[in-house]
Amino acid sequence: MNALIIFMVRLIIGLAFGILLIRLFRPEWGIYHGVVTGIILTALAYALNFFRKKQH
């Protein structure tokens, strides 16, 4: 797959889960906290992928 497509899929899934997590555990927080959480989740996905490939 194209690297841009993989990035977009990871970003969309990360944002969806980030917003969902914030809404479940901190409903008083705004949507921006969910977006930031989603971006952090996306960055963690790339970091874990980097470390996984580094070991092999």
Q: Tell me the pLDDT of the chain (56 aa) as tens digits.
A: 798 999 999 999 999 999 999 999 999 999 999 999 999 999 999 999 898 887 76
Please report the pLDDT score of residue 55 as a whole number.
74
Please report the pLDDT score of residue 54 as a whole number.
76
| Cα dihedral: 44, 47, 53, 56 (round 10) | -90
Long-range contact pairs involving 27-35 (C-beta distance under 8 Å, separation at least 24) = none
Please report the pLDDT score of residue 27 as a whole number.
92
Domain that holds residue 8: 3-55
Please report the pLDDT score of residue 56 as a whole number.
64
Q: How many domains does the chain have?
A: 1
